[in-house]
Amino acid sequence: MTMIEHNNLEEYQDPVNYDLEFGGEEDKYQFYLELARSNPGEVLELACGTGLTTIPLAKAGIKMTGVDISSAMLAHARLKAEGLPVTFIESDARTFESDKRFAMIYLTGNAFQAFLSDQDQIGLLATVHKHLQPGGIFAFETRNPKGTELADEEETGWGSFIDKDGNNVKVSGTQCYDASRQIMHWVTIRDWGNKRTTSRISCRFTDQDVLRSLLTRQGFRIEHQYADWHKTPFTPTASSIISVCRK
């Protein structure tokens, strides 16, 4: 995931265990695959990370390009994608340049929220608009502030996963919300049994009305907004806003 604050890159230094913690979202992969098939042509994923979504689409025969700012994540993505119709490029999504024009561009993993200022969001959307074919699809998801608990929280258990060595890793964290900037600061704590590690990440929360206005100003028409990967229509209290737009 492309991140703007330097602290955000802390989450992306261990790509193998990242996949084990965050992989397996089959409903999401299917959503983006169906969307790509509905508008045939090459697809670009911005903030692609280790290719958790890029690679399933490539395995289904979609020609893919993945862009991310993290060299470590991309190195693992390239290993996993050997022999598939996918190219990975290290670049910042706000300034990425290519001669290609894509039938579809998307971000996932709530990557849109990593763009923490108005300038960052506009830079991202300018990249998307420039590289989309006329009539092309732009899709992404973001947490809905009206459907998310934004209060400050002390350390709370978040779950667990099995790491590459077979160890059960307990995951917990804290959150602190800066309402003036609409930015949540999370500290993730992982208990590996023999050690505890921490990493920081910050995400901006943009409400639906502001998001709609921003997209319209940047040259996109919102065709659908969903609450989940099963295409449940968005409601004001849904936890997610999944937006499907057209240039």
Query: Would the pLDDT of 3 be above 80?
Result: no
CA–CA separation, 136 and 123 (whole Å): 18
In this predicted structure, what is the pLDDT of residue 136? 98
CA–CA separation, 169 and 21 (whole Å): 9
Runs of H (alpha helix) within the chain? 15-22, 26-37, 54-59, 71-80, 118-131, 208-217
> What is the dotted CATH code of the domain comprising 6-145+206-246?
3.40.50.150
CA–CA separation, 111 and 140 (whole Å): 8
Over residues 30-58, the pLDDT tens digits come to 999 999 999 999 999 999 999 999 999 99
In this predicted structure, what is the pLDDT of residue 7? 52
| C-alpha dihedral (224, 86, 90, 225), degrees to nearest 10 | 10
DSSP for residue 234: P
pTM comes to: 0.94
Strands 64-68 and 43-46: parallel
Query: Would the pLDDT of 210 be above 80?
Result: yes
Over residues 99-157, the pLDDT tens digits come to 999 999 999 999 999 999 999 999 999 999 999 999 999 999 999 999 999 999 999 99
Could you identify the residue written with the tokens 């209290």? Answer: 237
CA–CA separation, 76 and 237 (whole Å): 37
Query: Would the pLDDT of 4 be above 70?
Result: no
